[in-house]
Amino acid sequence: MKNNNNKNIRLNPLITYIDTNLNKTKIYEDNKRKSGIYRWNNLITNKSYVGSSISLSHRLSAYYSLSNINRIINKEQSVIYKALLKYGHSNFSLDILEYCELNILIKREQYYIDLLKPEYNLLKIAGSRYGHKLSDKTKKSISIALRGNKYIHNAKESRIKDVTISKTKLRLSRITPGICVKVFDKSNNNLFEFPSINSAARHLDVSNRTIRRIREGDTSYDNYYYKFEDFKIWVYNNNNELLNVLYNKQRISELYNIPCTTLSRYIKSGKIYKNKYYFRIK
């Protein structure tokens, strides 16, 4: 196996796909419902990119989508996507470095980034979605797989910088009542907690439809377990006395004679409705 970045490092990947253009279907099939670390290798320049995903087949498919590549390149800088466009998939090999559980995924990605020093990884801290230069807005939305129910990773233990969901994003999640999505491993450890189905789908590399299907049917998926909780809406009178606590916007609309769209607006503004009611999310 050719050494890409550090000539003194000899590494034996679990799987190597030499021609990623010809092996596209096999790559999808082999890595379906598996989480782990991967590496793209440019066979012409010897440069590489290391990444990770809890859904390798889904993540790797993004590298074959021309519309996705163009969308990312137009929004933010991504050297690996530009290289794939320039050289073509036939001039890239793909290594599956290892399969691992979600709770150690980012630690293992960081290990390989430190070990191999891949040139296409502009961001040297594991945890970004594509390893490219991120805007300030995007940086704030990055979450890291953690132990427990927090979004803070111990930098001393993992050498990963602490990354938290921005306070702004959390405030926005409380403006409109939605579904809180919690993800647990087999030992019932809370690995992730998302303020909405959309954010859960985005960070877990699955579609919104998949998350909704999990909610409507079985709560397990890819060996992880999901719990869905509705945000509560608290209703107060004009003296700030608590009148009611409900989960359903439609029910509040009926009880207090307020259209759902208007309800969302008053939750956001914090203003009193018809000089009678305050609606708040907690």
Residue-wise pLDDT tens digits, 68-118: 888 777 766 789 999 999 999 999 999 999 999 888 888 899 999 999 999
What pTM, to 2 d.p., does this model score?
A: 0.50
> Are 55 and 67 members of one domain?
yes
- Is the pLDDT score of 224 beyond 80? no
Specify the number of domains making up the chain: 3
86 vs 34: CA distance, rounded Å? 29
- Amino acid 282: pLDDT: 62
Q: Which residues of 206-244 are buried (b: 16+ CB within 10 A; e: fewer)?
A: beeebbeebbeeeeebbebbbebeebebebbeeeeeeee
Residue 146 covered by a domain? no
Residue 108 covered by a domain? yes
Residue 222 covered by a domain? yes
- Amino acid 249: pLDDT: 75
- Is the pLDDT score of 131 beyond 50? no
- Amino acid 139: pLDDT: 39
Residue 140 covered by a domain? no
For 268, list phi and psi in degrees, rounded to 5: -65, -45
What domain range is 219 assigned to?
176-230
Q: pLDDT grade, residue 15 (50/70/90)?
A: very high
> Are 82 and 47 members of one domain?
yes
Total H helices, total E strands in the chain: 12, 11
95: its two tokens: 């290594």
Residue 241 covered by a domain? yes
Arithmetic mean of pLDDT, 152-165: 37
Residues 190/183, Cβ–Cβ less than 8 Å: yes
Residue 204 covered by a domain? yes
pLDDT, mean over the chain: 76
Q: List all residues 6 or more positions away from 21 whose beta carbon is below 8 Å from its beta carbon.
A: 88, 89, 90
Residue 166 covered by a domain? no
